[in-house]
Amino acid sequence: MSYEMQKLRDNPETAEEGFKKILDVNDPGLNPKIKFGPTQIDYKRLTKSSPKVAILRDQGGQ
């Protein structure tokens, strides 16, 4: 969302804080440290069985 839209929708002061934080070159932002690799995930086991639950939604018909 653009800064101007966020300023109108949210608190203008917090929108400005967030915008300034994005522009801060010294702020590293979020840097996750992932301790596993894709080779450690057993994809065959995850895709072997079908889901046991179905989710039904009403689409708002009459």
User: pLDDT tens digits, residue range 12-51?
Assistant: 999 999 999 889 989 888 888 888 776 677 777 777 777 7
Other C-beta atoms closer than 10 Å to the C-beta of 15 total 19
- List phi, psi (to 5°) of 4: -65, -40
Count of domains for the chain:
1
pTM reported for the whole predicted model: 0.43
**Which pLDDT does position 8 carry in this prediction?**
93
| Domain encompassing residue 3 | 1-28
Q: In sequence order, what are the residues at sequence separation of 6 or more whose Cβ sits closer than 8 angstroms to the Cβ of residue 15?
A: 3, 6, 7
Q: Is residue 12 part of a domain?
A: yes
Residue 33 located in a structural domain: no
